[in-house]
Amino acid sequence: MDFVLSKEQQMARALFREFAENEVKPLAEEVDETERFPEETVEKMAKLGMLGIYFPKKYGGAGADVLTYAMCVEELSKVCGTTGVIVSAHTSLCCAPIYEHGTEEQKMKYLPKLCSGEWIGAFGLTEPNAGTDASGQQTTAVLEGDHYVLNGSKIFITNAGYAQVFVVFAMTDSCAGNHGISAFIVERDFPGFSVGKHEKKMGIKGSSTCELIMEDCIVPKENLLGQVGKGFKIAMQTLDGGRIGIASQALGLGEGAVDEAIAYTKERVQFGRRISQFQNTQFQLADMHTRMQAAQFLVYSAAMKKEAHVPYSMDAAMAKLFAAEAASDVTRRAVQLFGGYGYTREYPVERMMRDAKITEIYEGTSEVQRMVIASALGVK
Amino acid sequence: MKAIVCVKQVPDTSGKVAVNPDGTLNRASMAAIINPDDKSALEAALQLKDNTGCEVVVVTMGPPPAEGMLRELLAMGADRAVLVSAREFGGSDTYATSQILAAAINKIGLESDDVVFCGRQAIDGDTAQVGPQIAEKLHLPQITYVAGVEKVEAGKVVCRRELEDGYMMIETATPCVLTCLKEMNEARYMSVSGIMECYAKPMEVFNYETLKDDPLIQIDTIGLKGSPTNIFKSFTPPQKGVGMMMEGADKATCAKLAGILAGKHII
């Protein structure tokens, strides 16, 4: 596997790093403290083409590749996990299924506005009784003439408070199990659609996580995404791609914590020596960096496979599993290296530790990733 | 209409400045950046492009690796780039550099409504000479210390010229040269789509052969031979000592202060 970045990818990484450092990092603490969605950052990212990185220019995208997108989420997450997941959910969970499964009309209608940031996107699969078992969808969609009527609710929907477009899953045939699920493109302004309770979370506090409520929600027939009954497959394929985004977020969080810990331990003096001079610190940081480097290889490998249109489901699962667990471990160790200061909100590592935990849970828990990997290995 | 922007790649002096034993700057060990004043000059040109749709051409003189900087400028929105690079141009001081850049601008072609944007000065030399010298050699009007391009109309440009104790509003005819202050704007970032396009945008290399027929290019007007500047000594100036503070508004203190100043022949 060759990880030599092209000149364009190197330039893009430099752009993301500079942008993260100048525009995102200064807001990260306040966004977390006040649980505020960083609208101004989203607007700036939109102008730079960061909300449609790997989609063709024809649809308003930047015409780059999946690895460049992964690097964008990685660099943003190094300084702010909230900003990383906003881009990830918008791109992987809303733009991608429309691009991959939409009709030409749907793509031309939705992607230019999503890629330009005029509209933010979200994805509605999880329900109160359908979390890891996503097949247990209770939201229903009934065809009535030229439209579907959707009823039900979704929970834990990232970007929901600010999104205009939602890719929503609902049962069109409750007797057909997974094959009874269909996907729809739902606009915020459709009659009967509303955004409900805003969740208060442990981490990624600036991201908007809300409930979606559909009460006799009218969705035009032409907003069916893909074929009737193929929704579960669309959801699973979308989550394969989404896992690259979340793995990139985890990767960035872990790398950010390593950067912070290196800087801090070179300054902090105890027992008359900088704590970076103690072998324990050196070994900890060596292990932390090695874990994140291994995570980066897995994430980049999965991104390159998706770009090459070769099967990447297991690669994305391995990348997310490993990067998420590495991020949780590395951020926790960073707090330990900071000692008491690390536990205070004066330093960013406790925020990184809180932010990292969710990467083991959303878009498929680590346990689900293990199921995907084992299944791909034929282990039954 | 087009905007021609002269840019220089400079060592980043915001971090540690590395100096060779002979007192010259150790450029190899320092990161190369776009000169800040020049970046703002490009931003001013790109704003002109946003408003008028004009073409933006970026020009730099430097070794072949300067192409990387030009690609960044193309990713920010410039339309085409010119790299002026030749062994014969090496060792040029500001006089020779402006001679070569003026010839390059002649080669690009100046039309009646064109504007040449330069940064005020480069952070490595701090001379602020190249922009004005280009204007002189091309017989163009110039506005230096530009803090804002207020108006661009057919055949004329109005700029705000910032001075230490005030500002001037100056109108001049095009084509003209403007030297820009970095404070005049905040340069935009590259965009992702700009990055994807920048290697497909045209980039020409002007070497000695390309420019040799311009009357400005003579063997004794370019490179080391064409550079009248001689550096006799390069050194780090000694740090200034702590100043003297005198307190009090009484006659005796004032008389003492006047005595000190008179002793130093200041008054």
Note whether B193 contacts A: Cβ–Cβ < 8 A.
Answer: yes
Distance (Å) from the alpha carbon of B191 to chain A's nearest alpha carbon: 4
Burial class (CB in 10 A: 0-12, 13-18, 19+), A26: exposed
Measured between alpha carbons, how far is A6 from A2 in angstroms, rounded to an integer? Answer: 11
For residues A256 and A363, state if they share a domain: yes
Specify the pLDDT at position A271: 97
Specify the pLDDT at position A80: 98
In a domain, A181, yes or no: yes
Residue A113: pLDDT band by 50, 70, 90 thresholds?
Answer: very high
φ/ψ of residue B77, rounded to 5: 140, -5
Specify the pLDDT at position B197: 97
Q: What is the ipTM of this complex?
A: 0.93
For residues A367 and A292, state if they share a domain: yes
Q: Is the pLDDT of residue A207 over 70?
A: yes
> Beta strand A147-158 with A269-270: parallel, antiparallel or unpaired?
unpaired
Closest residue, chain A, to B195 (C-alpha): A8
In a domain, A1, yes or no: no
In a domain, A2, yes or no: no
**B193, A50: Cβ pair inside 8 Å?**
no
Q: What is the pLDDT of residues A311-358, one digit of tens each?
A: 999 999 999 999 999 999 999 999 999 999 999 999 999 999 999 999
Among the listed residues B84, B182, B167, B97, the one whose alpha carbon sits nearest the alpha carbon of residue B132: B97
Number of Cβ atoms within 10 Å of the Cβ of B259 = 11
In a domain, A77, yes or no: yes
Specify the pLDDT at position B123: 86
Residue A1: pLDDT band by 50, 70, 90 thresholds?
Answer: low
Structural domain ending residue among the three candidates A115, A135, A166 = A115
For residues A248 and A363, state if they share a domain: yes
More confident residue, B153 or A294: A294
Q: What residue type is A304 in one-letter code?
A: M
Specify the pLDDT at position A251: 98
For the domain spanning B2-211, the CATH number is: 3.40.50.620
| Number of structural domains found in chain A | 3
Sequence ranges of the domains in chain B: 2-211
Question: What residues of chain A, 67 to 86, have a C-beta less than 8 Å from chain B?
Answer: 68, 72
Q: What is the CATH number of the domain that holds A162?
A: 2.40.110.10
Structural domain ending residue among the three candidates A232, A256, A282 = A232
The pLDDT of A239-261, averaged and rounded, is 98
Q: What pTM was estimated for this model as a whole?
A: 0.91
Structural domain ending residue among the three candidates A192, A207, A232 = A232
Measured between alpha carbons, how far is A342 from A350 in angstroms, rounded to an integer? Answer: 6
The SS3 assignment for B210 reads helix
The SS3 assignment for B172 reads strand
Q: What is the CATH number of the domain that holds A351?
A: 1.20.140.10
Q: For residue A325, indicate whether it is catalytic.
A: no
Scored b (16 or more CB within 10 A) or e, B78-100 reads bbbbbbbbbebbeebbbbbbbbb
- Residue span of the structural domain in which A356 resides: 239-376
Question: What residues of chain B, 24 to 83, have a C-beta less than 8 Å from chain A?
Answer: 71-72, 75
Half-sphere exposure of B38 (CA within 13 A, CB side): 24
Q: How far is CA A201 from CA A38, A66, A133, B138, B194, in A?
A: 16, 29, 22, 64, 37
Q: What is the CATH number of the domain that holds A48?
A: 1.10.540.10
Which regions in chain B score pLDDT beneath 50? none
For residues A95 and A162, state if they share a domain: no
Among the listed residues A50, A35, A80, A46, the one whose alpha carbon sits nearest the alpha carbon of residue A209: A35
